[in-house]
């Protein structure tokens, strides 16, 4: 609708950029220039090849960068991502090689159809209309790629889709399989269940001090260095506010900034508009327009125009008649628009009218618009008085940041030469002595600041005063004491030891008691009697399906799903529910049949799901067999030296 086009290139750019990022990082597509190049085997940077199609370090790096989404990631994780990307790109090359071998290809028409009718049609064919070659190139350029690379990569994606369609076509499901799936999914059961809860058993455990000490000694290795390192520091804080209060912005610099950046303060011609859209019939498959429907839309638009002029009720009429979902509930308001943000017909009318004027119905690819130009602004340069506050704020922020960096350097230098106290006195602040603090603790006067604590815990005890800049202050600190990590004594963590002892003993006791209950119930075929002897709670469920929930049991799609595999009267083994365990006995089992009235409604949906699952299995098996076959045929080559140097790990040979 008009809302999408109104956002102009910027919105399309962001949508497309996200789309291209997905292409770059996915298993299914390539957004790597020259992926199928002809670099000679063994040439520096080539990590592997599949039938002559190569995987290079540059390609892997681009995939990793796309996955990282611009964030800094640890070196060890980079290596892991590199190895994953290598495997993905080798698999992609295998798919492409096999597609070529099978004679698959993608025509220009198939490519155009994908752009026009695929999931990104609103980018390149909004409302079915091609955006034009120039805008096409512009969007791709703004998204960081070229026409040639984009079209090459999209065709590779389509070729892979074709291959998977060919392979997946072998996935079929019989009527018997559909019927059985319907029975399995629609079966309902009613059951008795005897349940023992972990909490109840835990309450019965009363360990002696001797038992706890023995448990502590047995598990002592688990508590090794569990009390983390702590540090004490002396420090002082110079706040950003104190620095900012002493800084003024030179009016001459404000004037120079304004003069040097006038392009940033220019406002293009714009109009403030509202409209009511009367939708017209879309062209049929043959491209022809329903003229009768078109005429009816025009007649309706004229009638609405009369009502608008007579009543001025834009809010009510837009809500009642407008087909633009983005503006109909806002009285038709589109707010301010610039040239190039709307379709040409709309733009011409909106900019061509005088302030307050209402247009006759204007036809665009969306339908007939009734447009009011509420306000107009000619292109102009914002005066200094209008932007002065913003310029001053920006300049002051820059000066404050520079001043903070200088304070950090000077304060550290003074503290190292003259001591922390004299450095603090220079800035009129007090030195604070901290208690022992851990990495995640907060310091008085500063709060929780991970970057500062990282600096504190990475500083050598004899390094002397150091400085660290936070978002709101400069902190100069000195390490006064380091308490290394240590293993706590029994007395220090007695409560923790007791909790761990009870948890282990309760879990062991719960498993044993429920197993004994299940064995007794099977031996005598009497769950009620076995439950009573074990002190378990005995309950009976309603008649339930696989997606329903039973008290104390939870969702039947969980561990209790075993009930749907049991016959009437059958008793289960122990069912682990996490915080409890249970034994079930089936009281009633109701299975549907293909003659049920609901079966015809569910049949097609079940068949589609089963075919999809089988298709995934077939394609997965194909990919596994393809990799094995191509390796046996010598089509897959991994250049070990290059791979080891690039990934930092041994690769397959």
Of 185, 214, 156, nearest in space to 30 by CA: 156
Q: How far apart are CA 373 and CA 448, in angstroms?
A: 53
Residue 285's pLDDT is 66
The closest of 342, 155, 366, 208 to 281, measured between CA atoms, is 366
pLDDT of 648 reads: 67
**Angle subtended at Cα 540 by Cα 536 and Cα 545, rounded to the nearest 5 degrees:** 125
- CA–CA separation, 493 and 509 (whole Å): 24
- Non-local CB neighbours of 130 within 8 Å, separated by 6+ positions: 116, 124
290/426 Cα distance (integer angstroms): 84
Under 8 Å between Cβ of 487 and 227: yes
DSSP E strands, 448-487: 466-469, 473-483
Cβ partners under 8 Å of residue 181, min gap 6: 606, 610
For position 88, what pLDDT does the model report? 87
- pLDDT for res 649: 60
Residue 56: what pLDDT?
A: 87
**Around Cβ 115, how many Cβ atoms within 10 Å?**
17
**Sheet of strand 466-469: strand arrangement:** 432-433, 230-239, 473-483, 466-469
CA quadruple 100, 105, 111, 114: dihedral positive or negative? negative
Going from N- to C-terminal start, the domains of the chain cover 2-170+630-647, 188-220+493-590, 230-246+403-483, 269-378
Low-confidence ranges of the chain (pLDDT < 70): 1-44, 68-76, 285-287, 594, 648-653
Burial status of residue 107 (CB atoms within 10 A of its CB: 0-12, 13-18, 19 or more): exposed
The answer to whether 136 and 9 have CB atoms below 8 angstroms apart is: no
Look up tokens 């220079």; give the residue. Answer: 426
pLDDT of residue 73: 67
Identify the three-state secondary structure at position 485: coil
Determine how β-strand 266-267 pairs with β-strand 230-239: unpaired
pLDDT value of position 403 = 93
Tokens 């879309």, located at residue:
282
Instruction: Just give the CATH number of 269-378.
Output: 3.10.50.40
Three-class SS of 548-578:
CEECCCEECCCHHHHHHHCCCCCECCCEECC
Tokens of 139: 């969007």
> For residues 258 and 388, what is the distance between their CA atoms, to the nearest angstrom?
8
Residue 322's CB is within 10 A of a number of other CB atoms, namely 27
At a CB cut-off of 8 Å and minimum separation 6, what does 169 contact? none
pLDDT at 2: 32
CA dist 539 and 548 (Å) reads: 16
Residue among 308, 367, 374 at smallest CA distance from 343: 367
User: How many C-beta atoms lie closer than 10 Å to residue 372's C-beta?
Assistant: 21
Residue 311's beta-bridge partner residues?
none
Give every CB contact of residue 638 below 8 A, 6+ residues apart in sequence: 47, 48, 90, 651, 652, 653
Question: Tell me, what DSSP letter sits at residue 221?
Answer: G
Which CATH number fits the domain 188-220+493-590, given the four candidates 3.40.198, 3.10.50, 2.60.40, 3.40.1130? 3.10.50
- CATH class of segment(s) 2-170+630-647: mainly alpha
pTM here is: 0.51
Report the candidate in 236, 237, 224, 234 with the shortest Cα–Cα distance to residue 437: 234
Which structure tokens are listed for 580?
């409890």
393 vs 241, 347, 388, CA distance in Å?
14, 36, 9
Beta bridge partners of 49: 54, 637
**Does this chain's domain 188-220+493-590 share its CATH topology with 269-378?**
yes
> What's the CA gap between 267 and 264, in Å, rounded?
8
Token readout for 116 is 């026009």
The CA-CA-CA angle for residues 432, 433, 438, to 5°, reads: 115
Token representation of residue 168: 């997946």
- Which of 251, 33, 220 lies closest to 144, judged by CA? 33
Q: CB-based burial of residue 493 (10 Å sphere; 0-12 exposed, 13-18 middle, 19+ buried)?
A: middle
């Amino acid at each position: 609708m008009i809302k999408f086009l109104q956002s102009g290139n910027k919105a399309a750019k962001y949508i497309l950029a996200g789309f291209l990022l997905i292409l770059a990082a996915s298993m299914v597509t390539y957004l790597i220039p020259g992926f199928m190049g002809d670099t000679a085997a063994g040439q520096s940077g080539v990590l592997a090849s599949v039938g002559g199609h190569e995987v290079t370090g540059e390609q892997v790096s681009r995939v990793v960068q796309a996955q990282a989404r611009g964030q800094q990631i640890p070196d060890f994780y980079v290596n892991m991502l590199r190895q994953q990307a290598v495997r993905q790109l080798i698999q992609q090359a295998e798919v492409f090689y096999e597609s070529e071998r099978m004679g698959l290809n993608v025509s220009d028409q198939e490519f155009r159809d994908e752009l026009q009718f695929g999931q990104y049609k609103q980018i390149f064919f909004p409302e079915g209309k091609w955006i034009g070659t120039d805008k096409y190139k512009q969007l791709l350029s703004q998204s960081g790629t070229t026409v040639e690379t984009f079209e090459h990569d999209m065709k590779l994606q389509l070729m892979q889709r074709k291959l998977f369609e060919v392979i997946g076509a072998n996935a079929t499901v019989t009527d018997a399989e559909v019927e059985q799936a319907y029975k399995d999914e629609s079966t309902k059961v009613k059951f008795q269940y005897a349940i023992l809860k972990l909490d109840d058993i835990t309450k019965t455990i009363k360990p002696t001090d001797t038992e706890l000490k023995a448990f502590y000694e047995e598990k002592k290795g688990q508590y090794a260095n569990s009390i983390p390192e702590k540090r004490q520091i002396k420090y002082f804080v110079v706040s950003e506010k104190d620095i900012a209060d002493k800084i003024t912005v030179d009016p001459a610099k404000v004037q120079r900034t304004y003069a040097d950046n006038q392009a940033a303060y220019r406002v293009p011609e714009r109009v403030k508009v509202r409209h009511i859209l009367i939708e017209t019939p879309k062209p049929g498959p043959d491209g022809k327009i329903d003229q009768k429907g078109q005429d009816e839309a025009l007649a309706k638009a004229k009638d609405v125009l009369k009502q608008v002029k007579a009543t001025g009720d834009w809010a009510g009429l837009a809500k009642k008649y407008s087909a633009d979902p983005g503006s109909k509930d806002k009285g038709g308001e589109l707010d301010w628009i610039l040239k190039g943000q709307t379709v040409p017909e709309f733009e011409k009318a909106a900019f061509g009218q005088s302030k307050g004027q209402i247009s006759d119905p204007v036809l665009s690819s969306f339908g007939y618009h009734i447009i009011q130009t509420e306000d107009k602004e000619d292109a102009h340069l914002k005066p200094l008085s209008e932007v002065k506050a913003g310029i001053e704020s920006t300049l002051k922020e820059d000066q404050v940041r520079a001043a903070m960096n200088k304070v950090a350097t000077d304060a550290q230098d003074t503290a190292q030469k003259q001591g922390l106290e004299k450095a603090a006195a220079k800035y009129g602040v007090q030195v604070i002595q901290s208690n022992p603090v851990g990495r995640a603790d907060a310091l008085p006067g500063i709060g929780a600041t991970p970057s500062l604590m990282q600096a504190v815990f990475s500083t050598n005890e004899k390094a002397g005063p150091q400085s660290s800049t936070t978002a709101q202050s400069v902190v100069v600190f000195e390490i006064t004491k380091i308490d290394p990590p240590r293993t706590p004594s029994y007395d220090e963590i007695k409560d923790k030891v007791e909790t761990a002892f009870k948890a282990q003993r309760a879990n062991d006791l719960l498993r044993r008691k429920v197993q004994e209950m299940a064995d007794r119930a099977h031996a005598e075929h009497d769950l009620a009697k076995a439950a009573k002897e074990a002190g378990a709670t005995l309950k009976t469920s309603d008649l339930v399906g696989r997606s329903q929930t039973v008290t104390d049991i939870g969702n039947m799609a969980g561990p209790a799903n075993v009930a749907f595999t049991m016959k009437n009267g059958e008793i289960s083994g122990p069912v682990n529910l996490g915080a409890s365990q249970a034994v079930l006995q089936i009281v009633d089992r109701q299975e549907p049949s293909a003659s049920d009235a609901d079966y015809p409604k569910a049949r097609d949906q079940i068949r589609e799901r089963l075919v999809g699952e089988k298709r995934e299995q077939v394609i997965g098996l194909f990919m596994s067999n393809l990799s094995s076959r191509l390796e046996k045929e010598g089509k897959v080559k991994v250049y070990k030296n290059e791979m080891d140097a690039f990934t930092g790990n041994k690769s397959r040979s």
